């Protein structure tokens, strides 16, 4: 019986294969689950399913039928407070101060996981006018280490 001998080429090949799998896994996850993408891409994904002008009841139904977005928390009395990633409030002109979007709002929170990689937490807000029509979608997305 011939004895198998590991060479440096064999060891290097194993490391290259393992490294390749570890690099491809998050990319496959981003393709399979759009909610693992960066916040602007998630916002675009959300807007394809809930376009500006859509009625609040339709948006609630779509959210409830899409488990990846989380459970909706509906606030029919207030819009949502727009904040930047550091947590402070700002408006689109760059002025600091509270900016409330809409007269009604929906919020979802969800955490996405794949083994061996940091989780991604995503928070989405939908803002509606006084007639219940969608006027803005805002997404925060960050890695949980």
Is 22 among the domain residues? no
> In this structure, what are the phi and psi dihedrals at residue 10, rounded to the nearest 5 degrees?
-65, -45
Is 51 among the domain residues? yes
What is the pLDDT averaged over residues 77-104? 67
Is 74 among the domain residues? yes
> Which of the four pLDDT bands, split at 50, 70 and 90, describes residue 37?
confident
Is 47 among the domain residues? yes
Residue 103: per-residue pLDDT: 93
112 is in which domain, residue-wise? 35-144
Is 11 among the domain residues? no
Domain total of the chain: 1
Is 99 among the domain residues? yes
Cα–Cα nearest to 145, from 111, 102, 98, 110: 111
Is 6 among the domain residues? no
Residue holding tokens 């007269």? 103
């Amino acid at each position: 019986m011939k004895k198998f001998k590991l060479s440096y080429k064999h060891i290097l090949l194993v490391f290259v294969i393992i490294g390749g799998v570890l690099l491809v896994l998050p990319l496959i996850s981003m393709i399979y689950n759009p909610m693992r993408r960066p916040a602007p891409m998630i916002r675009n994904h959300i807007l394809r399913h809930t376009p500006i002008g859509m009625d609040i009841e339709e948006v609630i139904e779509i959210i409830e039928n899409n488990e990846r977005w989380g459970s909706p928390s509906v606030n029919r009395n207030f819009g949502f407070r727009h904040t930047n990633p550091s947590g402070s409030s700002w408006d689109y002109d760059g002025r600091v101060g509270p900016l409330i979007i809409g007269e009604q709002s929906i919020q979802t929170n969800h955490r996405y996981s794949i083994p061996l990689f940091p989780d991604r937490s995503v928070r989405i807000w939908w803002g509606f006018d006084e007639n219940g029509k969608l006027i803005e979608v805002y997404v925060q997305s960050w890695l949980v280490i």
